[in-house]
């Protein structure tokens, strides 16, 4: 047997039979320990003989469905969310095909485990529960070796990179390299929801240090135990990373994930024209919330220009949502001044005003003049609170991305109910412990009339004999399809028009029957179909704007369906027989 190969397998097609198979370099225990190649009990008798597996497996040959049933039985024995997370990660690191088959079959049940809210809890203790490493960790100690590191990645090709520097993990803050759970989880969703093949996806953590004293003092912390790089040193580090990706994976899509706000906007602006990339926290969150708003307008039978919008929390997500609303208002015919007059942005100090200190460029766009609020009646002179804004503007849409549990209290919600017959209330912070309010609180305050969306999953609730649905404004409706569409169209960049096309595609999939139950987004159980339609909308937008390859609508149908991988085992043949 030849020595271990950096690229341990290749996809082949038999020229005689047309059979697709994997040509594998590995044998025996090496093959059983490779998560992308391990089939465990599903190796056929012929494969066991030719690949050095005879005697290493028990005699029964199982199919994938039988393996999935066995795995689900073991999963169901776990009573603790973190233990379920550990079990699923162990399965991922042992047999990726089986992991994705299990996840796809039980997506609604397992989504809160592999991603929010449980992934946040897991990241808080990742150094304490790590069993195996997954992905690539780059630090100041190895960044200059990036080409060597990336050339040794044991994948045939890389088309998707999800990267974080761990500084703003969900609503939990700076978790250093323990934030790697987020890129791993996002790739889980890319594969399960979008259909990308796991062999082309790679998570990255840019371990530039941490300012979290808990981690710095924790003897079990596994990350780079120094203060975070900042300024010029940080910028140079990022530049080396991006250029390394371009050199080694020239056709890859780069998704920025959970960077601090002041860095996220800068990185997006700096690299969006230089490399195929987007920021899910800014653009993905804004896009899925916008899709839900479009459906809400359909239910209300009103336009965006009929509303008054309050956006609480002008970080990455809030800024993205506010910008999408602004663009829609102008698309409906409002002037720039008229559009801005309908959006009220709130952050930690209260309503953003033109003389508020420390505003960034996006916040300045939505800050109000002192003259515009001079006649308002306030609870406490000198500060304009959330309740003040809602009362004085007669707000009809309230969106929260603050990570402040209970911010939308009973008084705020009752005022929204007074302002509008069907107030739209989005409590989008996650995990669940950070949600601005619960669906039950909205139902109680609005007598069941409120149109609700949340950032974390909540069960449907009964209110006065009526079942009210709560849609999770999950970025999974958007980013897997956007990524897939950008890749299959071979787009040179990801544009805001592509995200708008994605929002329209998602909202269009909400049926009349679902609208009658106040559902603002499609059913997550049909996520593969949602991703297909998003990918097609994105690909067509790329084509029509001149940055994607020229294929007909029907050709894109076929290309996207072909690109959506379903978990299954390929037959294997040994290399160099």
**Contacts (Cβ under 8 Å, ≥6 apart) of 30:** 4
Beta bridge partners of 346: 312, 351
Active site residue 21: no
pLDDT of residue 5: 44
The two structure tokens encoding residue 391 = 């009362």
User: Mean pLDDT per segment of 10 residues, for the chain of length 577 residues?
Assistant: 60 92 95 97 97 97 98 97 97 98 95 90 96 95 97 92 95 94 97 96 98 98 98 98 97 96 94 96 94 97 97 93 94 95 92 90 92 92 91 98 93 97 94 88 94 88 82 93 98 96 97 91 92 98 97 98 96 87
The whole-angstrom separation of Cα 10 and Cα 23 is 5
Catalytic residue among 39, 121, 186, 300: 186
Beta bridge partners of 467: 462
DSSP string, 265-320: HHHHHHHTTTSSEEEIIIIIHHHHHHHHHHHHHHHHT--GGG--EEEE--SHHHHH
The whole-angstrom separation of Cα 183 and Cα 148 is 22
pLDDT of residue 2: 38
Structural domains in the chain plus CATH codes: 9-62 (1.20.1370.30), 64-275 (3.40.50.10380), 477-507+521-550 (no CATH)
- Tens digits of per-residue pLDDT, 142-162? 999 999 999 999 898 999 999
DSSP string, 358-377: T--HHHHHHPBPTGGGTT--
DSSP string, 10-41: EEEE-TTT--EEEEE---HHHHHT-TTT--GG
Biggest distance spanned by C-alpha atoms of the chain: 84
The secondary structure of 526-561, three-state, reads: HHHHHHHHHHHHHHHHHHHCCCCCCCCHHHHHHHHH
Catalytic residue among 115, 224, 271, 572: 115
Residue with tokens 């250029």: 243
Answer for the pair 8, 34: CB distance below 8 angstroms, yes or no.
Answer: yes
The whole-angstrom separation of Cα 315 and Cα 363 is 9
- Tens digits of per-residue pLDDT, 480-531? 999 999 999 999 999 999 999 999 999 999 999 999 888 999 988 899 999 9
Question: What DSSP designation does 178 have?
Answer: G
40-65 b/e with 16+ CB inside 10 Å = b? bebbeeebbebbbbeeebeeeebebe
pLDDT of residue 156: 87
Active site residue 39: no
């Amino acid at each position: 047997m030849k020595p271990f190969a950096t690229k341990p397998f290749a996809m082949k097609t038999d020229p005689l039979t047309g059979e697709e198979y994997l040509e594998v370099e590995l044998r025996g225990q090496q093959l059983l320990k490779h998560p992308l190649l391990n089939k465990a009990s599903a190796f056929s008798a012929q494969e066991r003989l030719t690949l050095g597996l005879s005697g290493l497996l028990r005699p029964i040959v199982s199919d994938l469905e039988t393996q999935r049933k066995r795995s689900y039985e073991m999963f169901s024995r776990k009573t603790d969310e973190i233990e379920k997370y550990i079990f699923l990660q162990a399965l991922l690191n042992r047999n990726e095909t089986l992991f994705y088959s299990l996840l796809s079959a039980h997506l609604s049940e397992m989504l809160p485990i592999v991603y929010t809210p449980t992934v946040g809890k897991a990241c808080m203790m990742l150094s304490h529960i790590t069993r195996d490493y997954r992905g690539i960790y780059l630090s100041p100690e190895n960044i200059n070796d990036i080409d060597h590191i990336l050339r040794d990645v044991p994948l045939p090709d890389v088309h998707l990179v999800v990267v974080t520097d761990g500084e703003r993990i969900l609503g939990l803050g700076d978790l250093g390299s323990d934030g790697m759970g987020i890129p791993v989880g996002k790739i889980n969703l890319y594969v399960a929801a979008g259909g990308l093949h796991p062999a082309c996806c790679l998570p990255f953590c840019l371990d530039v240090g941490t300012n979290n004293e808990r981690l710095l003092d924790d003897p079990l912390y596994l990350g780079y135990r120094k203060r975070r790089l900042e300024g010029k040193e940080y910028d140079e580090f990022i530049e080396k990373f991006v250029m390394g990706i371009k050199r080694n994976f020239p056709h890859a899509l780069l998704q920025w994930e959970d960077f601090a706000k002041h860095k996220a906007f800068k990185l997006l602006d700096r690299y969006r024209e230089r490399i195929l990339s987007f920021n899910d926290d800014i653009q993905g969150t804004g896009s899925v919330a916008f899709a839900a708003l479009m459906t809400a307008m359909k239910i209300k039978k009103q336009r965006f220009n009929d509303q008054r919008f309050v956006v609480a929390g002008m970080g990455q997500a809030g800024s993205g949502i506010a910008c999408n609303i602004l663009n829609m208002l102008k698309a409906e015919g409002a002037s720039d001044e008229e559009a801005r007059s309908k959006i009220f942005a709130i952050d930690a100090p209260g309503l953003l005003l033109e003389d508020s200190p420390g505003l960034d460029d996006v916040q300045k766009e939505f800050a109000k003049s002192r003259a515009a609020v001079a006649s308002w009646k306030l609870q406490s002179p000198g500060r304009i609170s959330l309740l003040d804004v809602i009362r004085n503007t007669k707000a009809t849409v309230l969106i929260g991305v603050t990570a402040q549990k209970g911010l939308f209290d009973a008084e705020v919600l009752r005022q929204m109910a007074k302002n509008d017959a069907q107030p739209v209330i989005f409590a989008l912070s996650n995990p669940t412990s950070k949600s601005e309010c619960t669906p039950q609180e909205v139902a109680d305050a609005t007598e069941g009339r409120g149109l609700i969306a949340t950032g974390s999953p909540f069960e449907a609730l009964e209110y006065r004999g009526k079942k009210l649905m709560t849609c999770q404004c999950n970025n999974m409706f958007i980013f897997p399809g956007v990524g897939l569409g950008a890749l299959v169209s071979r787009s040179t960049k990801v544009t805001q028009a592509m995200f708008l096309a994605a929002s329209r595609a998602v909202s269009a999939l909400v049926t009349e029957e679902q609208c009658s139950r106040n559902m603002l987004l499609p059913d997550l159980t049909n996520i593969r179909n949602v991703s297909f339609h998003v990918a097609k909308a994105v690909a067509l937008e790329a084509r029509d704007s001149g940055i994607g390859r020229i294929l007909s609508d029907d050709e894109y149908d076929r290309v996207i369906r072909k690109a959506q991988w379903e978990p299954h085992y390929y037959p294997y043949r040994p290399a160099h027989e």
